[in-house]
Amino acid sequence: MSTSQHISVLGIFVADTSYRADRPPRMGETILGNSFALGPGGKGSNQAVAIGRLGGDVTMMTRLGDDDFADMAENIWRDSGVKSAAIRDPNSYTGAAYIFVEEASGDNAIIVCPGAAKEITPAHIEENAALIRNSKVFITQLEQPVPTAHKALQIARGAGVLTILNPAPAAELDEGIFALCDYLTPNETEAGELTGMTVETVDDARKAADALLDKGVGNVIVTLGAQGALLHTKTSSEHLPAFNAGPVVETTGAGDAFNGGLAVGLAQGLDPLDAMRLGGATASISVTRKGTAPSMPGMDEVQRLLSK
């Protein structure tokens, strides 16, 4: 493992098309919305931006089309201090996402089309193996093909790199992938889908986390929205309440903010609970703002919230 604090991220970039309305339309129905926004998104890209904004040394691995949305990706990465290891594919398109945001609550529903990122293969990961091996922390999600994430986790684990799998969106996973995860970071829904359990309370999360530890995961962190997050290991179980950074405007990207903050904390050598606190504070600030990548805070803001 590298002695640096470098973090490598494998994931996708998508252009977020965000629609705010009082409620979602029924099938066959047209309703008037309240506002529209176009901006950068994708779980992997959002996590990389969160890391970069927090001052982390980060590189983003993905596949883009050769189009205006790819330019958007490169621009947000450059502005956020994220190094790019992206491949441009002129025969495909850069991903896009439909995001419905319920005006009253800020809750969201999302459809993601990965575009060129759907074609990231284990062979592409082999080409970036040195980048992964020279990292302190490697993080990935499940918006690109699962076999590709599996290959990258194998390379990272083989090099002694700390691994984080954010299993979002939830997908069917080969049992062998769990033992490659130093940290697995599902939300309540994903923890439920991975275990077949209903996860609504902190105690529910503990039971699901036990089942995930039994699959070979090193540490489980279940993010619980307004209830905070749970760090569960073989020897301890710590519930961290959510921070209050102000009124909730939009929850889209909160999980990405959390994972980005967690990765930065672990790369800095913080213990898991303090790294989780950094992630929680990052997420709590992000939900007070509209958008995904644009909502990610800087380290000064996060430290001010942590010091309260």
**Residue 225: both structure tokens together:** 């929205």
Q: How far apart are CA 162 and CA 63, in angstroms?
A: 23
Q: Which of 16, 57, 204, 256 is catalytic?
A: 256
Catalytic: 256?
yes
Pairing of strands 108-115, 94-102: antiparallel
**Collapsed DSSP state (helix, strand, coil) of residue 86:** coil
User: What is the identity of the amino acid at 200?
Assistant: E
- Residue 46's nearest CA partner among 259, 217, 280, 214 is 259
Total count of residues recorded for the chain: 308
Closest residue by Cα to residue 232 from 217, 218, 215, 220: 220
Query: Is the distance from CB of 62 to CB of 13 less than 8 angstroms?
Result: yes
Provide the annotated active-site residues: 256
